[in-house]
């Protein structure tokens, strides 16, 4: 059985990384991220690209976690606290009671990531996806439909934000991602790596149901309101999702799922 380390004092320096979780969501964590919930920890300790630093469980949650705890490396401490101590650490009622701290690796350059993908590859490219729910949901869909990587511009939010990881059900820890500075740079990197880019747009030239998958295909998505920059749309092949003309409104993550389901095989 795994050794559990009891924490009785919310100010214990060993669990400092868990303190004031919400406030630190906003200012960042200097090379760390918070993984939350059993489903996410399951990915963190089975299929993640990232290493964990520690685990913190509420005492009543230990019982259901045996299988996951068996996969936690020996050198990663597992802390246990009562509900009251846990709430005092986190700074709000932590109903879930299952947390871990992970270590971010140095972010890879988009060009380097694309270069090492297989000859047949599906990539999701994001411009201006600023909402963490959408980011998490796009990663979930990317993992479900076997996308090899996600690339994004600087206007897209952090996939390792606590809520984005949670909404992704851990996919943000699994699917490799990298950032380019602008959407134009991202498109350049994709073209140099021989990707055919399909820009998804309500006014796309071709129905996604008719789109043909090339060996290396990238699906380019923009934010729901503004969409993709016109200058980019003008020079790339574009696809649309056919829908009712009087209610042509899909969430961007939902649109990614429909398009990836059409492209993945």
| Chain positions contacting a copy of itself, by CB under 8 A | 47, 137, 140-141, 143-146, 169, 171, 174, 241-244, 246-251, 253-254, 257-258, 261, 264-265
**Residue 242 CB, nearest approach to a copy of itself (Å):** 7
Q: How far is the CB of 168 from a copy of itself (least distance, A)?
A: 9
Q: Are 54 and 34 in contact (CB under 8 A)?
A: no
Beta bridge partners of 152: 126, 179
Least distance to a copy of itself, CB of residue 257, Å: 5
* SS3 at position 178: strand
The DSSP secondary structure of 45-111, one letter per residue, reads: TTT-SSEEEEEEEEGGGSGGGHHHHTTS-TTS-EEEE-HHHHHHHHTS--SS-EEEEEEPPPPPBHH
Element (H, E) at 246: none
Pick the closer one to a copy of itself by CB: 162 or 240.
Answer: 240
Alpha carbon distances (Å) from 185 to 54, 65, 97, 188: 37, 43, 41, 5
Beta carbon nearer to a copy of itself, 15 or 147? 147
Cβ pair 5, 74 in contact under 8 A: no
Least CB distance from residue 110 to a copy of itself, whole Å? 23
Provide, rounded to whole angstroms, the least separation between the CB of residue 174 and a copy of itself: 7
Q: Which is nearer to a copy of itself, 172 or 186 (CB)?
A: 172
- Return the number of the residue (127 or 168) whose C-beta is nearest a copy of itself: 168
Q: How far is the CB of 145 from a copy of itself (least distance, A)?
A: 6
Cβ atoms within 10 Å of 230's Cβ, excluding its own: 9
The 8-class DSSP code of residue 211 comes to: P
For a copy of itself, the closer CB: 29 or 240: 240
Q: Which is nearer to a copy of itself, 9 or 248 (CB)?
A: 248
Given phi > 0 = left and psi -120 to 50 = alpha, else beta, which region is 37? left
């Amino acid at each position: 059985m795994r050794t559990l380390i009891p924490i009785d004092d919310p100010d214990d320096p060993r669990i400092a990384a868990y303190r004031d979780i919400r406030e630190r969501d906003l200012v960042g964590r200097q090379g760390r991220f918070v993984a939350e919930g059993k489903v996410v920890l399951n990915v963190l300790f089975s299929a993640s690209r990232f290493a964990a630093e520690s685990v913190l469980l509420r005492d009543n949650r230990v019982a259901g976690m045996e299988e996951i705890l068996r996969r936690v490396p020996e050198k990663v401490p597992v802390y246990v606290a009562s509900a009251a101590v846990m709430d005092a650490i986190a700074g709000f009622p932590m109903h879930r009671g299952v947390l871990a701290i992970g270590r971010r690796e140095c972010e890879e350059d988009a060009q380097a990531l694309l270069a090492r993908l297989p000859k047949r590859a599906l990539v999701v490219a994001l411009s201006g996806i600023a909402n963490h729910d959408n980011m998490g949901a796009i990663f979930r869909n990317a993992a479900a439909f076997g996308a090899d990587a996600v690339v994004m511009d600087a206007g897209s939010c952090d996939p390792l934000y606590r809520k984005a990881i949670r909404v992704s059900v851990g996919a943000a820890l699994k699917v490799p991602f990298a950032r380019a500075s602008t959407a134009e740079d991202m498109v350049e990197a994709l073209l140099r790596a021989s990707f055919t880019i399909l820009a998804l747009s309500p006014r796309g030239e071709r129905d996604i149901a008719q789109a043909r998958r090339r060996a290396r295909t990238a699906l380019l998505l923009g934010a729901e309101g503004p969409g993709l920059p016109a200058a980019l749309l003008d020079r790339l092949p574009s696809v649309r999702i056919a829908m009712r003309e009087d209610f042509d409104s899909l969430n961007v993550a939902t649109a990614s799922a429909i398009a990836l389901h059409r492209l993945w095989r």
